[in-house]
Structure 1
Amino acid sequence: MENLYPVFINLKYKKVCIIGGGRIAARKLEGLLQSEAVITIISPTLMESIFPYVNSGLVHWIQKSFELSDIEDAFYIISATNDPHVSSELRKGVSPSQLINFADDYSSSNVIVPSVVRRGRLAIAVTTSGASPSLSKKIKKDLEAIYSKDYEDYVEFLMEKRSYIQESVNDTDKRRKLLSLLVEDPIFRTEEREKRFQKIYKKINNNCE
């Protein structure tokens, strides 16, 4: 699994099937709830912590044992069970065009779910390609300390100013310089950023360097 291609996928309105209703399924579900995917859990039983999501309509639960027909139209499949029979059936029956993650078998997966640090629009993903989930978790913790929750507002600011600069600055070099300064100057991660931005915007845009 060392040649993985990192990518973020838009799962909005896509059918996602989770096979299993226990602790692993609950953990996998956490990362999916904000994706706006159409999530179905297939399992005879369900962990108590998942019931609120079923009752609120965020998750559909099919109370039965897994069959291959359950995943025919699924875009993404998560095997969250330790049942070797289910895993074997999935390996034989999953389509090459479907995405699948085996929680207990990275080598059979064509998708690995990384540890993710989220700060609003900012998402930083970490994986060791199955070598050490513990290291991924440690690095995630380190990144959470480096990229505090202040980055949520900062990234929104960057998005707003990027749009403004692209619309109002025609000169490519000036535009590039302004965009670079927004991430190089630490003051833009403080409350003084708007005042600072207006100052450098006028300076650069008027050629008064």
Structure 2
Amino acid sequence: MDYLPIFVATDKRPVLVVGGGTVAERKIRLLLRTGAQVRVVSPEICDGLKQLEQKGRIEWIQRAFENQDLEEAWLVYAATDDPFLQKRVAREAEARRVLVNTVDDRDNCSFIMPAIVDRSPVMVAISTGGTSPVLARRLRDTMERLLPQATARLAEFVGEVRDHITRAIPEFSRRRRFHEWLVDGPVARFIRAGQEDEARQRFEAALKEDGLFGEGHVYLVGAGPGDPELLTLKALQTLQAADVIVHDGLVDERVLDLARRDAEFIDVAKKAGHHRLSQARINQLLAERAEAGEVVVRLKGGDPFVFGRGGEEITYLRERGIAYEVVPGITAAVGCAAYAGLPLTHRDHAHSVWLVTAHCRESVDTLDWNDLAHSRQTLAFYMGVRQIGRVQSQLTAHGRHPDTPVAFVENGCRPEQRVIVGRLGSMSELAERHQLQSPALIYVGEVARLAGELNWYGQAPIVAETSAEQLQQAVV
């Protein structure tokens, strides 16, 4: 390592800043957050520093730098545009064994400033050794997204109760396990949800009753429509905390790769003609693993509450007193339409959206086709590849114009995405000609034709021959 990473206490300690421009101001504002006593030496200072000086937050010595300015300093920042002055400050500080940072001049620094993620008292400092500040900032941005804002309050809470834990649990190994439960379990979840009274009650109960802190928890998590970058931050955090991940077959492998490496993966894929596990058995599995004290993620493609049977699963858990949370995801109809350039609503063409499941003959026959056949609305059919002929015949029989545009989005939001655009009257023939395969979303409505014009992701869409007159008739 070229640098020793340390955190320095500067509260009530003098720090010298040579220079009075905007770069110096950025350093000074950071120092003031740590309680440092900042002295600025510069013939002139910027407006922001003048305001700080007028409020008594910094001391300004209005002259050029002199060597004796270093005498009482713990740290020194040289933030000027004069390279000779920068080197002089560094040389004199080195002679006095005072740590110095010369801004944008790594060779003359005895310490460098990292990119900082602040969740005080939790601090994350990221450094590239001065080689690429831009890369350090990019990494900081990633960490900002990964660390919940509630991390700060969780750290404060743990600090407040630390002595209580030490007195109540003298055995080291069990105390360590309790701390792990504290930062991973229900207390942390209550704090993230802003329910601090509940967090404290749960902590106190666990401290009094041996073994109580081993309870499990279930997260119902939406994995989104495919692209792992569409995963929500909270979904990513739960994946990385899970002991067990019970996932559907439609969950992209790239999403599973984001989970912690030692997690157990259980595939409960439901595919046409074959169910690996029944829904009743899945419900039991979630409950059994949570009752064993594990953190369980039930991972579903899209959103767990849109044709994902999430409501049935949490009803089962609730009846058994098992703690759960729901982490929504981008549902497939929304994600696949966006990646196909197909606006679900449009001021000129569609004022409402229907999300419809068509995975079997029975579900298709229960739909209200009179309402679905109205124009100026978008229909998004889930699990409808095997029922395309039925959808086509029912819509046309109930008055939807045969020239109404349709779009198939196969493997949406994935590198192999394929978009096919045509018209309702030839929908079955179009699907057969291009051998449409699941998973695919079927969109019916005037906006579907826009997928042929606005598509931006993956290969160019396949657009069947449809005349402008036909499309205009469909809109009318």
TM-score by length of 2: 0.41
Residue 207 of structure 2 corresponds to residue 196 of structure 1: no
The change in CA–CA distance for 1:88 and 1:172 in structure 2 (over 3 A counts) is closer
Match of 2:44 in 1: 45
Distance 2:126 2:134 in 1: 11
Distance 1:205 1:184 in 2: 16
Distance 1:172 1:200 in 2: 17
Any residues of structure 2 matched to 1:112-191 within 5 Å, and which? Answer: 112-185=112-185, 188-190=188-190, 191=195
Residue 109 of structure 2 corresponds to residue 103 of structure 1: no
For residues 158-186 of structure 1, give each alpha carbon's deviation from its aligned partner in whole angstroms, at most 9, with x where no partner exists: 11222210122222232222112112326
SS in 2 for 1:204: coil
The change in CA–CA distance for 1:105 and 1:35 in structure 2 (over 3 A counts) is same
Greater share of helix: 1
Aligned residues: 208
SS in 1 for 2:4: coil
Q: Alignment identity in percent?
A: 28
CA drift at 1:189 = 3.2
List alignment gaps of at least 5 residues for structure 1: none
Letter in 2 for 1:184: D
CA drift at 1:196 = 3.4
Match of 1:58 in 2: 57
Letter in 1 for 2:167: E
SS in 2 for 1:8: coil
Larger Rg: 2
Is this contact kept in 2: 1:154–1:189, CA < 8 A? no
CA drift at 1:20 = 0.4
Worse-superposed segment, 125-134 or 157-166? 157-166
Distance 1:71 1:4 in 2: 23
> Which structure's relative contact order is higher, taking Cα pairs within 8 Å and 6+ residues apart?
1
Is this contact kept in 1: 2:119–2:149, CA < 8 A? yes
Worse-superposed segment, 100-109 or 155-164? 155-164
CA drift at 1:49 = 1.0
Any residues of structure 2 matched to 1:26-45 within 5 Å, and which? Answer: 26-45=25-44
Match of 2:474 in 1: none
Distance 2:89 2:170 in 1: 54
For residues 128-180 of structure 1, give each alpha carbon's deviation from its aligned partner in whole angstroms, at most 9, with x where no partner exists: 11011011111111111111221122111111222210122222232222112
The change in CA–CA distance for 1:84 and 1:172 in structure 2 (over 3 A counts) is closer
Letter in 1 for 2:13: K
Distance 1:168 1:52 in 2: 51
Match of 1:25 in 2: 24
SS in 1 for 2:210: helix
Distance 2:177 2:58 in 1: 46
Task: Please provide the CA RMSD for this pair.
Answer: 2.2
The change in CA–CA distance for 1:200 and 1:48 in structure 2 (over 3 A counts) is same
